Amino acid sequence: MVKLVYFAWVRERIGKDEEELDLPDSVKTGSELIAYLSGLGENYAEALQFPKAIRIAINQEHVDHHEAIAGAREIGLFPPMTGG
Tell if the pTM clears 0.75, that is, is over it: yes
- The phi and psi torsions of 63 (rounded to 5 degrees) equal -140, 165
pLDDT at 81: 73
The pLDDT of residue 32 is above 80: yes
At 31, the pLDDT band (50, 70, 90 cuts) reads very high
Residue 40: which of 63, 65, 67, 13 has the closest Cα? 13
pLDDT at 77: 98
Q: List, for residues 35-80, the tens digit of each pLDDT value.
A: 999 999 999 999 999 999 999 999 999 999 999 999 999 999 999 8
